[in-house]
Structure 1
Amino acid sequence: MNRWATFFLKGVILFIGIVVLSVCLFWLPEIASRDAKVHPETAYLQYAFLLSAYLLSIPFFIGLYKVFKLFIYINQNKAFTEVSVRALKVIKYCAITISAFIVAGVIFVALYMEGDRAGVVAMGLYSTFASSVIATFAGVLQRLVNEVVNIISENDLIV
């Protein structure tokens, strides 16, 4: 049963990765070019938008890869090893980085965007909250797994 659950979760992670990659490759450039045609006076901002979106996707994909690797470690009965602790640490740092990028984007939008900013700021705050929850969960899980690894290594020294 455990293998089927991790197999399903790995499939979900792959699906999320494919969807986000297709959004980055096909949907975001289309949005940027459409916005540049509608607002030619601010067309130069499309490059900043695309650059920030692609920079944001780097820690997202790194974190997604580490989650996938964590499920592989669980399948190999290496859930309570040092490699799992390192994977959780990377996931935590990726989530913190994503939160920082989103906060910087919200600040940029709040300062430089004209018109109604409420929707963009609200979505940014929701995304920051979700990423912060993931970072907190990964940090707590990292600490717990690290304690288990320390207990296991102490028991190996005793025996």
Structure 2
Amino acid sequence: MKKKSTFFLQAVIVIIALLSITALIWFPLVEGRAENLDLLHVYIDPLILYVYASSIIYFVALYKAFKLLGYIGENSIFSINAVKALRSIKYCAIAISILIVGGGLYIKIFHPEEDDPAGFIVLCFVAAIVSVVVATAAAIFEKLLQNAIDIKSENELTI
């Protein structure tokens, strides 16, 4: 039963990754700043390039979550590789929150006066909070898993 549920969660992660790639390709074409631009200039906009560069970290975190589910499916969750995957997810979530705040500050500072970026700023704030929550959860799970591994190795040494 565990293999089915981890396989399902891995499939969900793949679907999330595919939907994210689709959004990264499709959104710049319909975004308001791109209405008078040709195809090349749409994708070389500094903010779009920033989002694409930042999304690499997001996809690394998805890959590490996929690997972590693989460790769970193989019954090797109490391994150093699982701890490393959680650590990577934590660092990716912290980096994503910093990059989101940086993007929000960029829009706030360099946005034209006649436009109100309040909606975008709120989305940045919410997304940064979600990233911090993910980083906190990953840090807690990493610590718990490391403690469990330490206890397991102590018990194996005493036997």
Same fold (TM over 0.5): yes
Is the CA contact 2:57–2:95 (under 8 Å) kept in the aligned structure 1? yes
Q: What CA distance in whole angstroms lies between the structure 2 residues aligned with 1:36 and 1:21?
A: 19
Number of equivalences? 155
Per-residue deviation at 1:45?
Answer: 9.8
Question: What is the aligned partner in structure 2 of residue 53 from structure 1?
Answer: 51
- The code of the aligned residue for 2:58 comes to F
- Identity among equivalent pairs (%): 35
Q: Could you list the runs of 5+ residues in structure 1 that have no partner in the other structure?
A: none
Q: What CA distance in whole angstroms lies between the structure 2 residues aligned with 1:61 and 1:71?
A: 15
Among 64, 67, 70, the alignment partner of 1:66 is 64
Q: What CA distance in whole angstroms lies between the structure 2 residues aligned with 1:49 and 1:110?
A: 12
Q: Could you list the runs of 5+ residues in structure 2 that have no partner in the other structure?
A: none
Q: What CA distance in whole angstroms lies between the structure 2 residues aligned with 1:135 and 1:95?
A: 5
- 1:118-149: per-residue Cα shift (whole Å, max 9, x none)? 10000001111111111000000000000001
- The code of the aligned residue for 2:132 comes to S
Q: What CA distance in whole angstroms lies between the structure 1 residues aligned with 2:63 and 2:137?
A: 17
Is the CA contact 2:10–2:66 (under 8 Å) kept in the aligned structure 1? yes
Per-residue deviation at 1:85?
Answer: 0.2
- The code of the aligned residue for 1:49 comes to L
Question: What is the aligned partner in structure 2 of residue 153 from structure 1?
Answer: 153
- The code of the aligned residue for 1:22 comes to T
Is the CA contact 1:110–1:117 (under 8 Å) kept in the aligned structure 2? yes
Per-residue deviation at 1:4?
Answer: 1.7
Is the CA contact 1:36–1:46 (under 8 Å) kept in the aligned structure 2? no
1:10–1:119 Cα change, 3 Å: same
- The code of the aligned residue for 2:10 comes to K
Q: What CA distance in whole angstroms lies between the structure 2 residues aligned with 1:96 and 1:140?
A: 14
- 1:67-118: per-residue Cα shift (whole Å, max 9, x none)? 0000100011111111000000000000011000000011111111122111
- The code of the aligned residue for 1:13 comes to I
TM-score normalised by the chain length of structure 2:
0.89
Q: What CA distance in whole angstroms lies between the structure 1 residues aligned with 2:20 and 2:150?
A: 37
Question: What is the aligned partner in structure 2 of residue 96 from structure 1?
Answer: 94
SS of match in other structure, 1:116: coil
Question: What is the aligned partner in structure 2 of residue 142 from structure 1?
Answer: 142
* Pair 1:108 & 2:106 matched: yes
Question: What is the aligned partner in structure 2 of residue 7 from structure 1?
Answer: 7
